[in-house]
Amino acid sequence: MGDLEYLVTKTTNFINKYTYDLLIHWGLNDKITIYVNLVILLLVIASAVVVIHFITRRVIRQVLTWIARGKQHYSIYLKENKFAYYLALVAPVSLIKFSISIVFENFQGLIKPLHVLLDIYIVFMVVNILMSICNAIGDRMKTNEKFKYRPIESYLQVIRIILTLFGAIAVFSQLTGKDPVAFFSIMGAASAVLLLMFKDTIMGFVASIQVTVNDMVRIGDWIEMPKYGADGDVIDINLTTVKVQNWDKTITTVPTHTLISDSFKNWRGMVEFEGRRCKRSIIIKQGSIRYVEDSELEKFKQIQGITQYIDEKKAEIDLHNANINANRTLLLNGRNITNAGLFRKYSTWYIENHPGVHKDKTMMVRQLAPTTSGLPFEFYFFTNTVAWLEYEAIVGDIFDHLLAAVKYFDLEIFEDPSSSDVKNIGLLHAPFPLEKQDLKSDK
């Protein structure tokens, strides 16, 4: 027996014997004294464990605070993830491991099982320490602009699974006393069942890698997946699910692997483009489109934005008509200015000069193919903001103005007749038409 082992044995005998002899001296029965002695030693050890853990934890927290010194250091995130709590367990656990043989010296049959249980607890303690370090690193990376929009949580979950697996192997080895290789033999036999159980996890892990490598989705992206009712911002990406906060503040959970297998729309390009597209139409009644006579041009010149255009266009048309010797007794002959053309030019001028429209992006007013509902005039431009409320305000302001401007060009907007329109048509074509004042009163 070495000197250290001899010293420990003598110390063990001394502590146990001292408390035992003290209780006998106080007049306790021999049979009761053994159990009372055990309770007293357990209370002493428990008190020492609480005090040592408290002091150690406070010291570690103070050290972490001192290292951080108010900066966004990893030590701050270690504190937030209970690193000090788990690391402080090392000291009291070491005390317990040393004390088992002292406290249970008179109960030799319990010493080995207690050591096994304590070893299992040590495994969990080590796993928790490593997980707190991983979580701290993950939280720190999420604050970094380089990794802020990456699915860090997916990789953290993989690390947690690996740590849990190694912890399970260590526990298996402690309980059975077998080599860890035996655990993998059992796992190999149950691989088919495990693959079935962790199918979503494995598919999610592969999908997370593909999503990250191809930069398909980031946290904060606005995505649409109508199949799953998702339309909003991505707030979390992990191994099995993607959480989307919809615009009504509800949360939709989408399987991670569907980002690879199914189609979805990502609006990130619009945000990075710094402009949101507007593509809307006003349908003009085709019967209201006509030529503009020369005598009417002065009236249209009063409309700001097309005065210079009318002068230039008139000179161009007159030169063309003179070159082809057009018979101008009919407006049909040669080229002419139309009220629809003037409206298109005015709309283009108005959009180009609107403060809410992005000047460096495509702007266009064009005619689409005529339909039975009329002639669509499509307005294509980008706002200088991607914020939803500001975008709608800008688009609403532009179309409010253009819809009201249509009548100044002697054009009409096509729309299906309402019930009051049908009623008035019926009254006007009645066998005994009513006077205008009767129609007004009837309204």
User: Of 163, 179, 212, which marks where a domain is finished?
Assistant: 212
- pLDDT over 90 percentage in the chain: 25
Tally of domains within the chain: 2
Choose among 155, 170, 69, 182: nearest CA to 125: 170
**Dist CA 197 CA 229 (whole Å):** 27
Q: Is residue 37 part of a domain?
A: yes
Are residues 172 and 120 part of one domain? Answer: yes
Are residues 177 and 90 part of one domain? Answer: yes
User: Of 249, 269, 289, which marks where a domain is finished?
Assistant: 269
Are residues 137 and 265 part of one domain? Answer: no
Are residues 133 and 32 part of one domain? Answer: yes
Q: pTM to 2 decimals?
A: 0.52
Are residues 222 and 173 part of one domain? Answer: no
Is the C-alpha dihedral spanning 185, 190, 192, 194 positive or negative? Answer: negative
Q: Is residue 201 part of a domain?
A: yes
Q: Is residue 123 part of a domain?
A: yes
Q: Is residue 206 part of a domain?
A: yes
Are residues 111 and 229 part of one domain? Answer: no
User: Of 237, 269, 301, which marks where a domain is finished?
Assistant: 269
Are residues 205 and 222 part of one domain? Answer: no
| pLDDT at residue 279, rounded to an integer | 93
Q: At 265, which CATH number?
A: 2.30.30.60
Are residues 259 and 164 part of one domain? Answer: no
Are residues 163 and 23 part of one domain? Answer: yes
Residue 263 belongs to domain spanning: 215-269
| pLDDT at residue 194, rounded to an integer | 61
Q: Is residue 164 part of a domain?
A: yes
Q: Is residue 138 part of a domain?
A: yes
Are residues 254 and 114 part of one domain? Answer: no
Low-confidence ranges of the chain (pLDDT < 50): 1-12, 434, 436-443
Are residues 144 and 35 part of one domain? Answer: yes
| pLDDT at residue 180, rounded to an integer | 67
| pLDDT at residue 33, rounded to an integer | 66
Tell me the per-residue pLDDT of 227-249, one tens digit each, with 9 for 90 and over: 888 999 988 887 778 899 998 88
Q: Is residue 288 part of a domain?
A: no
| pLDDT at residue 379, rounded to an integer | 96
Q: Is residue 397 part of a domain?
A: no
Are residues 150 and 79 part of one domain? Answer: yes
| pLDDT at residue 28, rounded to an integer | 58
